[in-house]
Chains A and B, each alone.
Chain A
Amino acid sequence: MQKALVSVTGQDKVGIIAKVSTTLCEQNINILEISQTIIDGCFTMLMVVDLENTRDDFQAIAKTLASIGEEIGVLVNIQRMDIFAAMHRI
């Protein structure tokens, strides 16, 4: 399993989750966990995904997600989970 975190932040609107999940589905990326909240009026969604079965390399996925974000007016980033685990778990 190759875990990564997709973070989506920005103005809340209809269809953000649908759009991002569809894109992940097209890339054959499995979603393991989702959490979503509104913090100070800002839509914040965190998705833990598994990149094991995707055909594309990391950079291509990051690019696709960023462009989807631009389309719907939110910020979409993808990072390997390792950085969060390193910082917060011993």
Chain B
Amino acid sequence: MLETSEILQTIHMIQEQHFDIRTITLGINLLDCRRDNDAATAECVYDKIRRLASHLVPVGNALENELGVPIVNKRLSVTPVSMISGTDPMRIAIALDAAAGDVGVNLIGGYGALMHKGSTNAENTLLESMPEVFAKTQRLCGSVNVASTRSGINMDAVRRMGHIIKQTAELTAAQDGFGCAKLVVFANAVEDNPFMAGAFHGVGEPECVVNVGVSGPGVVQRALETVRGKPFDVVAETIKRTAFKITRVGELVAQEAAKRLGVPYGIVDLSLAPTPARGDSVAYILKEMGLEMAGAPGTTAALAMLNDMVKKGGVMASSHVGGLSGAFIPVSEDIGMIEAAEANCLTIEKLEAMTCVCSVGLDMIAIPGDTSANTIAGIIADEVAIGMVNNKTTAVRIIPAVGKGYGDSINFGGLFGYAPIMKVNTFSNDAFIERGGRIPAPLHSLRN
């Protein structure tokens, strides 16, 4: 029999500390949907998603009721669309958006391309369609992989992404550039990430698969409140124990969801994903460790330890750990990060350092609307270089706020939150970005 204290601990985690399963994401292969033209492909895509994903939301809701733990999002990820699209990818985008709406999921990821070494004609066409697609669709998200440790950095793609992000912001200016919140630029993108906006169904994945993302920054923060003043050894152990417990629930949900949907269980992504709600913040964990705010000297070390302990605790709790797995540090989606940015304690450069030791990258950062495409490309180049050299995933999801400048803010509402516009280094990098070509893979890519 379980102890009363154990049962109450679980109940308190859910009721008071914002513990939840952040997402059940169903990955669907679309390679067999390719037809002679994009209109026919779109039709096939729509039918296939309706067929395979219609039970996802009811199953997610039933599990939420029975286990008493919120399952916040039910989502879909699909094969990168550039692998099945031709000259008119917009048609497929609209079909994906409609299918997602019909099956009741809030987001669908995969409108993207893997172009870390070069681009195909279909990828070029898809890239150009992105600004309009993200302006016209509601639920569709996309990502572009522009670098990898194995192949280096595709600087042509980096340069173009600077322009694509600018155009996307301009076309969605009325919604504070919300289109850019649905677009991620990656280095070393993973094939089984269940989190948006960067989720896609990789080519090494099965026909259909369930991936689950757990969360719980609030639970970790609360656990650390009990060890104030203790040395880091104790802090590390406390984070590990907490991560283990959280991930065990993720494993249970993943196993159950896979069984009920009749598809294989892929991975549990043991990420600490914050929300703008007070008490659900990764930055507050750093604060609890003894920093006045996220960004204060010591932040990178604190985050490095947090990220590693989450993995060490979580990996024993699940049979398959994957995805991004670590701590997320989006600015607009984390109340502690928002406060730190508003207080100028947190800068883009400090965030860049933090991304060297956590699971993703420069995420949900608002920058002045007049930032040039080349400056954005430079920010991307720096970030993907960190990913390439350190053999890890890094990403850039940045939002130029059209018509706004440093000191203003943007507001998306809901899980996407709001963000103060951060200062950007505007010294010119034009000659650097205009070079184009590829930055060769690092020496340690030669591992065979």
Q: Which residues of B contact A78 (CB under 8 A)?
A: 68
Most buried by B among A39, A59, A82: A82
Any chain A CB within 8 A of the CB of B174? no
- Are B11 and A62 touching (Cβ within 8 A)? no
Which residues of chain B from 315 to 366 have any CB-CB distance to chain A below 8 Å in the complex?
none
Q: In the docked arrangement, what's the CA distance between A52 and B67, Å? A: 17
- If the complex has contacts A84-B2, A86-B252, A87-B249, are A77 and B68 also in contact, measured as CB distance less than 8 A? yes
Residue in A35, A83, A89 whose CB lies within 8 Å of B68:
A83
Q: In the docked arrangement, what's the CA distance between A80 and B69, Å? A: 10
- Are A87 and B68 touching (Cβ within 8 A)? no
Any chain A CB within 8 A of the CB of B248? yes
- Are B2 and A79 touching (Cβ within 8 A)? no
Any chain A CB within 8 A of the CB of B65? yes
* Closest Cβ–Cβ distance, residue A57 to chain B (whole Å): 9
* Closest Cβ–Cβ distance, residue A3 to chain B (whole Å): 11
- Are A87 and B10 touching (Cβ within 8 A)? yes
Q: Which residues of B contact A82 (CB under 8 A)?
A: 67, 252
Any chain A CB within 8 A of the CB of B66? yes
Residue in A5, A58, A84 whose CB lies within 8 Å of B65:
A58
Any chain A CB within 8 A of the CB of B245? yes
* Closest Cβ–Cβ distance, residue A28 to chain B (whole Å): 18
Residue in A5, A7, A77, A86 whose CB lies within 8 Å of B249:
A86
- If the complex has contacts A85-B2, A89-B2, are A7 and B7 also in contact, measured as CB distance less than 8 A? yes
Interface residue range, chain B = 20 to 34
Any chain B CB within 8 A of the CB of A53? no
- If the complex has contacts A33-B1, A62-B65, A77-B68, are A86 and B248 also in contact, measured as CB distance less than 8 A? yes
Q: In the docked arrangement, what's the CA distance between A88 and B9, Å? A: 10
- Are B66 and A88 touching (Cβ within 8 A)? no
Which residues of chain B from 62 to 94 have any CB-CB distance to chain A below 8 Å in the complex?
62, 65-69
Encode A58-75 as 1/0 by CB contact (under 8 A) with B.
Answer: 110010000000000000
Q: Which residues of A contact B1 (CB under 8 A)?
A: 33, 48
* Closest Cβ–Cβ distance, residue B65 to chain A (whole Å): 5
- Are A58 and B248 touching (Cβ within 8 A)? no
* Closest Cβ–Cβ distance, residue B79 to chain A (whole Å): 32
Any chain B CB within 8 A of the CB of A46? yes
- If the complex has contacts A86-B252, A87-B248, A88-B245, are A80 and B2 also in contact, measured as CB distance less than 8 A? no
- If the complex has contacts A7-B11, A33-B1, A83-B252, are A88 and B6 also in contact, measured as CB distance less than 8 A? yes
- Are B8 and A88 touching (Cβ within 8 A)? no
- Nearest B residue to A83 via CB reads B67
Q: In the docked arrangement, what's the CA distance between A48 and B7, Å? A: 11
* Closest Cβ–Cβ distance, residue A49 to chain B (whole Å): 13
- Nearest B residue to A80 via CB reads B66
Q: In the docked arrangement, what's the CA distance between A84 and B6, Å? A: 8
* Closest Cβ–Cβ distance, residue B121 to chain A (whole Å): 49
- If the complex has contacts A33-B1, A35-B4, A46-B4, are A88 and B10 also in contact, measured as CB distance less than 8 A? yes
Q: In the docked arrangement, what's the CA distance between A24 and B2, Å? A: 21
* Closest Cβ–Cβ distance, residue B59 to chain A (whole Å): 13
- Nearest B residue to A79 via CB reads B68
Encode B1-29 as 1/0 by CB contact (under 8 A) with A.
Answer: 11110111111000000000000000000
Any chain B CB within 8 A of the CB of A22? no
Q: In the docked arrangement, what's the CA distance between A7 and B4, Å? A: 11
Most buried by B among A44, A62, A79, A85: A79
- Nearest B residue to A63 via CB reads B65
Any chain B CB within 8 A of the CB of A11? no
- Are B4 and A79 touching (Cβ within 8 A)? no
Most buried by B among A37, A39, A87: A87
- Nearest B residue to A9 via CB reads B11
Q: Which residues of A contact B2 (CB under 8 A)?
A: 84-85, 88-89
- If the complex has contacts A33-B1, A86-B249, A87-B249, are A80 and B67 also in contact, measured as CB distance less than 8 A? yes
Q: In the docked arrangement, what's the CA distance between A48 and B2, Å? A: 10
Q: Which residues of A contact B62 (CB under 8 A)?
A: 58-59
- Nearest A residue to B11 via CB reads A7
* Closest Cβ–Cβ distance, residue A33 to chain B (whole Å): 7
* Closest Cβ–Cβ distance, residue A23 to chain B (whole Å): 18
- If the complex has contacts A5-B7, A44-B8, A84-B2, are A59 and B65 also in contact, measured as CB distance less than 8 A? yes
Any chain A CB within 8 A of the CB of B251? yes
Q: Which residues of B contact A89 (CB under 8 A)?
A: 2
5 tightest Cβ-Cβ pairs between the two chains A and B? A79-B68, A86-B252, A88-B6, A86-B248, A83-B67
Known contacts A7-B11, A35-B4, A58-B62; 7 additional CB pairs below 8 A are A79-B66, A82-B67, A83-B10, A83-B67, A83-B68, A83-B69, A86-B252
25 A-B pairs within 8 Å (CB atoms) are namely: A5-B7, A7-B11, A33-B1, A35-B4, A46-B8, A58-B65, A59-B65, A77-B11, A77-B68, A78-B68, A79-B66, A79-B68, A80-B66, A82-B252, A83-B249, A84-B6, A84-B7, A85-B2, A86-B248, A86-B252, A87-B6, A87-B248, A88-B2, A88-B6, A88-B245
